[in-house]
A and B are shown apart, each in its own frame.
Chain A
Amino acid sequence: NAGVTQTPKFQVLKTGQSMTLQCAQDMNHEYMSWYRQDPGMGLRLIHYSVGAGITDQGEVPNGYNVSRSTTEDFPLRLLSAAPSQTSVYFCASSRGTGTSYGYTFGSGTRLTVV
């Protein structure tokens, strides 16, 4: 089982550039989400989706867009990259929104904005 796959693993962007971080899961999970991990800040929720066609904002959504056209894929778009978006980004999925389910995380994308 591949689980949650994130690409690319590393990326360097210039300020103002846009890009899409890819996330795909092969577990037929309904719930998918994006976190960023920063030193001293822990992991913070950016956006989440409870199913195809349904997305919503998390704790730190500004500067990011998401869409969910299929159950498997949940890409994260940076509209105009800023140095403050330098971080490690993790995609996570869960079987559903029920309270008994745990999370599976991808291996992360390390993004540097210069």
Chain B
Amino acid sequence: KQEVTQIPAALSVPEGENLVLNCSFTDSAIYNLQWFRQDPGKGLTSLLLIQSSQREQTSGRLNASLDKSSGRSTLYIAASQPGDSATYLCAVPISSGSARQLTFGSGTQLTVLP
């Protein structure tokens, strides 16, 4: 069974710092990995989708890397801002027949202090 783990569970940094969020998964046979952010009381916003054949994806100040062989992905946030404060979730899809179910990590709650 695929298990997804995110560390740390919470992170507090001063504004302007670069930071790395970690995501690990137990079954390396993944199709892709998706990073989301969730603001308190809100839905999930997709940040980056990285395919199994890719090593990196970038969007603005965000960079996601994927190392399937080691079962790890990292989300790098450059020059953090208070508006980046949110919970960050990584997810991998698992398939059983026609079902595609996302398995989520428990998230990293990020606080960027002004």
CA distance A92 to B99 in the complex (A): 13
By a CB distance below 8 angstroms, the chain A residues around B34 are 102-103
The answer to whether B46 touches A105 (Cβ under 8 A) is yes
* A104 nearest CB neighbor, chain B only: B46
Given contacts A45-B99, A48-B101, 10 further A-B contacts (CB under 8 A): A31-B100, A33-B100, A45-B102, A59-B101, A90-B44, A103-B91, A105-B45, A107-B42, A108-B42, A108-B43
Complex Cα distance A65/B43, Å? 22
Complex Cα spacing A59 to B44, Å: 20
How far apart are B39's CB and chain A's nearest CB, in angstroms? 10
CB distance from B3 to the nearest CB of A (A): 11
Q: Please name all residues of chain B whose beta carbon is closer than 8 Å to the beta carbon of A59 when the two chains form the complex.
A: 101
Q: A43-B104, A102-B32, A102-B34 are in contact. Are A50 and B98 (CB under 8 A)?
A: yes
Give the number of residues in B that approach A within 8 Å (Cβ atoms): 24
A90 to B41, CA, bound (A): 12
| 19 pairs, A vs B, C-beta closer than 8 Å | A31-B100, A33-B101, A42-B104, A43-B104, A48-B101, A58-B99, A58-B101, A90-B43, A92-B44, A92-B102, A94-B100, A97-B100, A99-B32, A99-B52, A100-B51, A103-B91, A104-B46, A105-B43, A107-B43
Closest Cβ of chain A to B68, distance in Å, is 13
